[in-house]
Amino acid sequence: MAEQRDRIFMHAQVDTIVDRLRELIELARNSPADATNINNVVKDLQANARGLTDEIAPIFSLPTLSGRKTTFDVKDLSEVLKTINVTAGGASTTLHNFLSSIGSSLIEAQKSLNQQSRDYSQAAAVEFRGLVPASQFLIPSVKAEMTVGLDQVQERTVNLIFIKDSTTKDNFVQSKISFDLVAAPPPPGAVIDLTPFLLLNGRQAFLTELEALPEVATALDITNTIRFGAVFVVSAASTHNSQDQNVFLAVYVVQDKGKSILDPNWKTIVLVVVQRVNGKLTLYDKLLEATDSNPLVFPKTRSDKVVSLGDALMQMVAAIYQWMASLGFAV
C-alpha cells in the first residue's frame, strides 16, 4: 500500500510539473518580462521536482529573471524538454482514457442510484402499504469537455563545416470537444425489469395464463374488440392481513376493433386480481370489496361532468402502452 501511495503521489507531482512547464511556455511567448509570475512558476516547478528521480534534474537548472536576465525564452526550457515530453501519450490515447473514465464514472454513479432507488422503493412500500409505486432515479445526461493540445515540432539542420543550427518550435493549438453521454432506453428485445411494481418480463406469458381462467375468459369475451393488459405486482403490505405474497392486478382496456387502444373513448375496463399458489394462478378475492366481483367489469361513464375510475385507469394504461411501444416491447 505504501508503494501504491508513493506512486500516486509521484504521478501527481509529474502532472503538476507538466502543467507548470506549459505555463512557462505561455509566459515566455506572451509575458517574457513578467518576473513575478515566471519566478513563482519556476519555484513551484523546483519544489515539486525535488522528490523525483535524477531524470528530471535539468529542472533545477531553470533560470529565474533578475537584473542580469530580464526575459525568459523557450530555449531556456530545452534541457528540460529533452528529458520530459510534456505531450507524451498522444491525443488518441488521452481521448480514449478520458472517454473510458467518464463512462466508468457514469456507470458507477448509476449503480449507486440504482441501490438508492431500491432502498427508497422498499421503504415507500412499507410506509405507504404498497399504494405508492416504486421509483427509479436515473442520470439522463452527462456533458464532458476536454482541451486538446496539438504539438508541432520542427527541426532545421544546416551543416556548415560541422556547425549545426537546430531550432525547435512548439506550437500548442487548443480546442474543445463537447459531447453528451445519455442514459438511453434499452434496445428492443433487451431483458429489462425496471421496477417491481410493473410486470414487464414475461408479461405476455402471464396474460396468456391468466386468460385461460374461465372467469377471465368470460369477462374478456366481448365481440369485435381488441384489448391491452397491464400487469401490476401488489405489495404484500397491501394484501389481506398484509401477508399474502405473489398477488397481481391486471388491468385491461378493451376497445372496439376499429379504434386504437389509445382512443380515450374506451369501451370496457376489466380488473382481475390473482395470486400464484403452488405455481398456478387463482383468483384472489381479498383485495376488492366484498360486494365486488372478480374479475371486475364496468362500462364507460356517460356523464361529461364525472371523471370515473375507468377514465383514470384508461389514461394510466394508455400511458404504459405508449411507453412500452416506444421501447420496443410487444404490446
Rg of the Cα trace of the chain? 35
From first to last of its 331 residues, the chain has per-residue pLDDT tens of 434 444 555 567 778 888 888 888 888 888 888 888 899 988 888 888 776 665 667 778 888 888 888 888 878 888 777 766 655 444 445 667 777 777 787 788 888 887 887 788 778 777 776 666 666 777 777 776 666 555 554 544 444 444 444 444 445 545 555 666 665 555 555 555 555 678 877 889 999 999 999 999 999 999 999 999 999 988 888 887 778 888 999 999 999 998 998 888 888 999 999 999 998 999 988 877 656 688 888 776 666 655 678 888 888 898 888 888 877 777 7
Instruction: Return the axis-axis angle of helices 2-30 and 35-49, rounded to nearest 10°.
Output: 160
Is residue 318 within 8 Å of 262, Cβ to Cβ? yes
- CA 17, distance to chain mean position in Å, is 34
The C-alpha angle with vertex 191 and arms to 188 and 196, in degrees rounded to 5, equals: 120
